[in-house]
Amino acid sequence: MSHSAMHSDMRGPNCWQCRFFAVSWDPRLPYACRSMGFKTKVLPAIEVLRTDGLPCQSFTPRAPAAAAAPQAPAALEPGRKNEASTRSMSTRLWQA
């Protein structure tokens, strides 16, 4: 579905269906947008509309659940480190 089709009903995009939407660990700022890198009290699309006056331009639909299902980690050989455990994840988000 195209971005313009997602906004045609004048309600803007649904963050819950966006691949960049995340739920934050912070109870004061429970929602986050990974695309724009911020946390907020309200859904990110509402914050973007309030700030820019335009619907969110970063909306990208989530992949279907079957395609997005994580695969089980491969068994480790003794003495070998798991690649996933050595990667660091970015947690830097600015607050709206």
What confidence tens digit (pLDDT) does each residue in 31-70 have? Answer: 999 999 999 999 999 999 999 999 999 999 998 877 555 6
For 1-13, write each residue's pLDDT tens digit: 445 444 445 678 9
How many of the other CB atoms lie within 10 Å of CB of 24?
A: 15
Residue 91 has pLDDT above 70, yes or no: no
The pTM of the full predicted model, rounded to 2 decimals, is 0.58
Q: Which residues neighbour 44 within 8 Å (Cβ) at sequence distance 6 or greater?
A: 15, 21, 31, 32, 33, 36, 38, 56
Among 15, 8, 16, 1, smallest CA distance to 56 is for 15
Phi, psi of 16 (to 5 degrees): -65, -20
* Distance from C-alpha of 44 to C-alpha of 38, rounded to nearest angstrom: 8
